[in-house]
Structure 1
Amino acid sequence: MKTLQTPILLFCLCFCCCKDAFNPQVDAKYKNLLVVEGFINIGATTTIKLSRTADLKDWQITAPEKKAEVEIEGNKGTRLRGLTGEDGQCVLNTENLSLDESYMLKIKLSDGKLYQTDYLESKASPEIDSLNFEVENKGFQIYVHTQDPLNKTRYYKWDYQETWEVNSTFISSVEYKDGKVVKRDPNVNIQYCWNTAKSSNILLQTTERLSEDRVTRFPLVHVKGNSAKVAHLYSVLVSQYGLTQNAYQYMVNMKKNTEQIGSIFDSQPSELRGNIYCISTPSEQVIGWMSAGTVSQKRIFISYKDKPASGYDWVYLQRCETVISSQDSLLYYLGGNNLLIDEQINGPNIKYLLGSKECIDCRLRGSNIRPDYWPI
């Protein structure tokens, strides 16, 4: 038995000790690749974003591709053109495009390189039947339901934009301005703000193996009950896209490469080949898949009133403390992360009530411009 145990022990020790970092050498042709993001949104506005990849170790970092010419060309003569800005984005008005026409995307970079797609199959997205939320796992789980009575969609993709109300804990009546304590301008809103965030996960579903083209209770997003998002009022706007089979498979591979890689048991990375190619250098790889069609949207609101009656898991806590200062110490406290809340005058004595900026000025956590869809 001893002659068996020794080799096995040595093998285990060697296996467990092999923990050197793996730093793969990346071929130059896989660096600085053009990334094309967007969807030709028929009947609305289209945003095309161009960027460049960094090295493999910095795969999340991209640089915007500026001053690139972007063109949407239809097979019936339609032409729309624009330039990418400092953020690498080009916005085109595609409200007058039609599902009866096929479109291709053309790109010309500032260095003269040309890229394009073939003519794309346009797909209409059916309307979203409904959005609903259920109390699950100490939070709100939001589900989408949809169907295509014509059984033509079959491949679905969703994304969403969240918006939530941010309120200041303390109401400030004074501020320190030009060396003096003065009344705060009541026309400048620092009490009620709104923050926004876009979905980051790739949300896909197919009904290709079902007799009905129907999606029921697809989970979109889970919001924790003690999150700042549902402290007051929360809204999510869901956009639904119909994809071709090829576009759907590309997004499946993209999802595997970006979301499901973490251990040897997870999906392994695959080379992504999109439908955008370089005319100038045919061997050059381009990252991205362009699709065209209509987009269906639906919005849902969740209020703090929708929370269960009680429970620590449903309470949003923001640490907000106050400090009282004399005139002599005012500048010292203002030099920190504080703002004035109130001025208290008692004869010759003047005291000031202060609190942290994040608890007084909501603009540090969002925009003070009320969205036009927000309930009054």
Structure 2
Amino acid sequence: MKKIIYFISISILLTITNSCIEEFDAATEEFEDALVVEATITNQLKYHNITLTRTYSFEEYEPNVETGATITIETSNNNTYNFSEYTSGVYTSTTMFKAEPGLEYTLSIKTQDGKEYISQNTQLTNVASIDKVYAEKVIDDDGVEGIGLYVDSYDATNNSKYYGYEFEETYKIIAPFWTPDDLILNSSGGFSVVPRSQEEQICYNTVASKGRLLTNTDLLEEDRISKFLIKFIPNNSISINTRYSILVKQYIQSGESYNYLRVLEEFSSSQSLLSQSQPGFLTSNIYSVNNSNEKVLGFFEVSSISEKRIFFNREDVLDTPYPWVCNIIDPPVNELTTLVRLDRVTLVYEKPAGEDGGPYDVVTRVCGDCTMSGSNIKPNFWID
């Protein structure tokens, strides 16, 4: 979202010279300060979050957060859900709730300076579940072998139409040259072999997707998503070194929400940024109560969501091992001292003792210490 806000915030007037190789200075010539709202509630029973920031210029690096606001969501059956500021600019509902079919939801925001904003009445979209998430060995357009992750979905009622996908991938890392001992500099300037003080053989890393993948079935005879590519992972990615899991989230969106996100995605692309024909200001479903001419960025979305998680091992899909680049080296003492001081190597083998102990065979730290690539805390959901 920061990337999207960044490209919108320059507001956008870039002067492109006639020569494609001549340097030009990209700077903001006009800037319009606007409230940016990230607000999605779903049919999941949970604490929901709403984020408020403000647009920022081309020369700036981070958006300004909007603090001290009062936020509520009201329903057509007279329920009110209040939000409090959990962290700077991020507001969390004070109670758990979920969006219910047949009700209208309205977002209200009052900023610290007294400005008020309100959304259009919005209803929960159709509820549909993911049918299948699966992995296949594929070769991409550049001839790179890897794993394609796909999703299938089907709505027999033909009422879903507009789909969005986010995901969270988690993978297991096993350091290929882990040993129970570590090599450290001692107080006398030599080396000591000591037991490792923490788990460094098996770790896990979790990475969330950025943005939302969009697709629709408007022009299809059936409301069916078939073999939609969620992610391609090249075979040399550490994420598929041993065991991998992906949690896919499917949003059923309104047509208005889908179109807003689609245009926003196009607008944030580098091609759109540098094109001579720039899109206008995106139309939000959130409006200023005080000033009808004030522009607001963001969209209040009430979407159904379904989730599905899969696990697989590398060998379940690929027939080649992960290509660890781990060269065992026997550096001279002076070089080893520097490497250990910088914590850039880990012990593989201690040879018969010399004057200072050793000599030692070592590898780069990432090959013997998994915490260089992830966390040594196993996720609660993980299944081996």
TM-score clears 0.5: yes
SS state at 1:373 partner: coil
Q: Quick check: 2:284–2:299 contact (8 Å CA) kept in 1?
A: yes
Q: 1:270 Cα shift?
A: 3.7
1:38–1:193 Cα change, 3 Å: farther
Distance in 1, matches of 2:170 and 2:234, equals 15
In 1: Cα distance, 2:361 partner to 2:112 partner: 56
Q: Does structure 1 residue 115 correspond to structure 2 residue 117? A: yes
Distance 2:25 2:202 in 1: 49
What is residue 333 of structure 1 aligned with on the other side?
339
Equivalent residues in 2 for 1:232-311, closer than 5 Å: 232-259=242-269, 261=271, 268-310=278-320
Shift of 1:331: 5.0
The answer for the alignment partner of 1:147 in structure 2 is 154
Match of 1:54 in 2: 56
Q: How does 1:84-163 map to 2 (within 5 A)?
A: 84-86=85-87, 88-92=89-93, 93-137=95-139, 138-163=145-170
Identity of aligned residues (%): 25
- Does structure 2 retain, via aligned residues, the 8 Å contact 1:241–1:294? yes
2:9 aligned residue? none
Q: 1:308 to 1:98 in 2, by over 3 A?
A: closer
CA distance in 1, matches of 2:170, 2:290: 43
TM-score (norm. length: structure 1): 0.81
Residues 77 and 263 (structure 1), Cα distance of their counterparts in 2 relative to 1, 3 Å cut: closer
Per-residue deviation, residues 45-93 of structure 1 (Å, max 9, x unmatched): 32222222321355x7434334433322222222222333445323335
Q: Which segment is superposed worse, 172-181 or 130-139? A: 172-181
Aligned equivalents of 2:38, 2:186: Cα separation in 1: 47
| TM-score under structure 2 length normalisation | 0.79
Q: 1:357 aligns with which of 365, 369, 372?
A: 365
CA distance in structure 1 between the partners assigned to 2:201 and 2:107 by the alignment:
45
Q: Is the 1:154–1:207 Cα contact (8 Å) retained in structure 2?
A: yes
2:374 corresponds to which residue?
A: 366
Correspondences of 1:157-172 after superposition (within 5 Å): 157-172=164-179
Greater shift, 269-278 or 215-224, is seen at: 269-278
Counterpart for residue 6 of structure 1: none
1:175–1:126 CA distance, 2 compared to 1 (3 A): same
Once residues 96 and 204 of structure 1 are traced to their aligned partners in structure 2, the CA distance between those partners, rounded to angstroms, is: 23
1:184–1:125 CA distance, 2 compared to 1 (3 A): farther
Q: Which stretch shows the higher mean deviation, 142-151 or 269-278?
A: 269-278
Secondary structure of the corresponding residue to residue 221 of structure 1: strand
Query: What does residue range 3-14 of structure 1 map to in structure 2 within 5 Å?
Result: none
- Report the 3-state secondary structure (helix = DSSP H, G, I; strand = E; otherwise coil) of the residue aligned with 1:288: strand
| 1:18–1:195 distance in 2 versus 1, CA, 3 Å | closer
Distance in 2 (alpha carbons) for counterparts of 1:74 and 1:133: 41
RMSD of aligned residue pairs (Cα, Å): 3.3
| Distance in structure 2 (CA, Å) of the matches to 1:320 and 1:63 | 46
Q: How far, CA to CA, are the matches of 1:280 and 1:17 in structure 2?
A: 45
Structure-1 separation of matches of 2:263 and 2:278: 10
8 Å contact from structure 2 (residues 162, 254) kept in 1: yes
Whether the 8 Å contact between 1:66 and 1:85 is mirrored in structure 2 is no
- Which amino acid letter does the alignment assign opposite residue 65 of structure 2? P
- Contact kept, 8 Å, 1:174 with 1:183, in 2: the verdict is yes
